Structure 1
Amino acid sequence: MESYVSVWPVLALAFIHFFGTRLRFLAGVPRSIWLSGAGGVSVAYVFLHLFPELGEGQEHVEKLNWAEQFLSHHVYLMALVGLSVFYGLERSVVSAKREQAHKTRDEEPKTPAGVFWLHISSFSIYNALIGYILFQREEGPTHELLLFSIAMALHFLINDFALKEHHQEHYKKYGRWVLVLALVAGWATGFIVEMPKTVIVLVMAFVGGGVILNVLKEELPEERESRYWAFALGAFLYAILLLSL
């Protein structure tokens, strides 16, 4: 890993956290066609590239005694865990804001500090895992790293707008900095710690489940007025790219 080629994707993802939400043409209702398209790209990558890769990695998990004794699909169980964790986080934020609005009668209630830090801490772990995966991608073909980086860059853009909507100035002042530090820390950990293949596969599964939930929760609410055609077009075009390689 002497080329350190993954430093460029890390810097690009950090750049998105710093400046992504300043792209005002992506904000507002109805939902930007670019954000919907970005969601389609992210989901297409998970289903057509990441999950098949996890299927190949399942053999590493099955070598563990405890895995053989319980379930034969721990990889996909971890994807379910990732999806469930981020669904629970989203519900906790929405419920906290609704309760705050009821108490203060504020049309735009602020997220309680405890919920904000729980939310950001969870996404920090998520970012750190993605940073580590970026480092590990250096071992494979360059196009594999590029495909993953593009999908995660667009996914980060979606997450940034969602987090800013939930937390407003708290995200701008603190949240994005924490996420960037977590991303870089996760990537840098790759220089120090070499995780077993089994752990890497499970980490990728968790991230895959998180990507699916974090994209769909932004697309499905009726008040978003999302552009389905843009989501479908993004997924279709990226699927063609993935299948052609």
Structure 2
Amino acid sequence: MLLITFILAVGFVSVHLFSRYLPFLDNVPRSRLLSAAGGISVAYVFIHLLPELNKHNEVLDRNIQSGALEFFENHTYIVAMIGLAIFYGLERMVKTSKKKQQEENNLDRASKGVFWIHIFSFFLYNSLIGYLLLHGEQETVTGLVFYFIALAVHFITSDHALREAHKEMYDRVGRWLLAAAILAGWAIGITWKVNENIIAVLFALLAGGVILNVMKEELPEERESNFWAFAAGLAGYTLLLMLA
């Protein structure tokens, strides 16, 4: 099983390093393949991510003894909402910075400071995804493969958005850091099992970020998504998850 998780971690790394060469990312209207990928990501959120979030909520309910941590009892979904708000704030910060750079410096990208904040947040995001290859709810090879498929297509579109925001800085530095984050999270998973309460809270924050990024990138009105390809991806991946 360890070898399988390593292979999938390398697969995630490959997506970050080579997705820039996919020729259909800038197509308008959006390619059927990307619309189907959007359907897969949305199915992952509703069929896998939210039920798993509920399991982490049960972990916190069972383990919390300290009065100082009672806020998290039955409030994992609030933590997920906070995660969504954080990533939404990051997106607004990037757009505001990019607009300011265009007006003041005639540069079509966000500032370097904003770049590092944005990349650091996604470094943590990716590290947790790498860690969950080993310590997530996926207990079978099939479950791991489905986890990989959903997040690989999600990475393709999120990489494209990061490249649009930061241009050559993302290709020169950012994609390498995000690829390294996957391996770092996987390596931490081998050497250290993080307290399940901490993972529950971090997973909730991650879930909020995934939900925002999926809805922002996989359902873009301006790219004229193909509904039938989206629906096929949604239905096909849902069926596979239910049969697994």
With normalisation by structure 1, the TM-score equals: 0.90
**AA of the residue aligned to 1:60:** V
Match of 1:64 in 2: 64
Q: Is the 8 A contact 1:133 1:204 kept in 2?
A: no
Structure 1 equivalent of residue 162 of structure 2: 163
Q: Secondary structure at the match of 2:24?
A: helix
In structure 2, C-alpha distance between the alignment counterparts of 1:110 and 1:26, rounded to whole Å:
18
Please list the CA deviations of residues 56-84 of structure 1 after superposition, one character each: whole Å capped at 9, or x if unmatched: 33221013134874354232122212211
How many residues get paired?
242
> Would the alpha carbon gap of residues 230 and 208 (structure 1) be closer, same or farther in structure 2, given more than 3 Å must change?
farther
The question of 1:43 aligning with 2:74 is answered no
Q: Cα offset for 1:138?
A: 8.6
Distance 2:223 2:232 in 1: 18
1:127 aligns with 2:129: no
Aligned-residue Cα RMSD (Å) equals 2.1
Q: Which residue of 1 aligns with 2:152?
A: 153
Contact 1:26/1:34 (8 A) holds in 2? no
Kindly indicate whether the alpha-carbon contact (under 8 Å) linking 1:67 and 1:74 is maintained by their aligned counterparts in 2: no
Query: What is the match of residue 218 of structure 1?
Result: 217
2:10 pairs with 1:11: yes
Residue 197 of structure 2 aligns with an amino acid whose one-letter code is T
Q: Distance in 2 between matches of 1:127 and 1:7?
A: 15
CA separation of 1:103 and 1:68: change in aligned 2, threshold 3 A: closer
Residue 47 of structure 2 aligns to a residue whose secondary structure is helix
After the TM superposition, which segments of 4 or more aligned residues of structure 1 sit over 4 Å from their partners? Answer: none
Distance 1:139 1:55, change over 3 A: closer
Tell which deviates more after alignment, 213-222 or 64-73.
Answer: 64-73
More displaced, 225-234 or 76-85? Answer: 225-234
Deviation of 1:28 after TM superposition, in Å, equals: 3.0
If the length of structure 2 is used for normalisation, what is the TM-score?
0.90
Q: Which structure 2 residues correspond to residues 100-111 of structure 1 after superposition, within 5 A?
A: 100-104=101-105, 106=106, 109-111=108-110
Which consecutive residues of structure 1, in runs of 5 or more, have no partner in the other structure? none
Q: Which residue of 1 aligns with 2:97?
A: 96
Query: C-alpha distance in 1, partners of 2:119/2:163?
Result: 11
Between the aligned partners of 1:5 and 1:15, the Cα distance in structure 2 is 15
1:130-189: CA deviation from partner (whole Å, max 9, x where unpaired)? 011112149722222111111111111111111111111111111101111111111101
1:109 is paired with a residue whose SS is coil
Structure 2 unpaired stretches of 5+: none
Does residue 83 of structure 1 match 2:84? yes
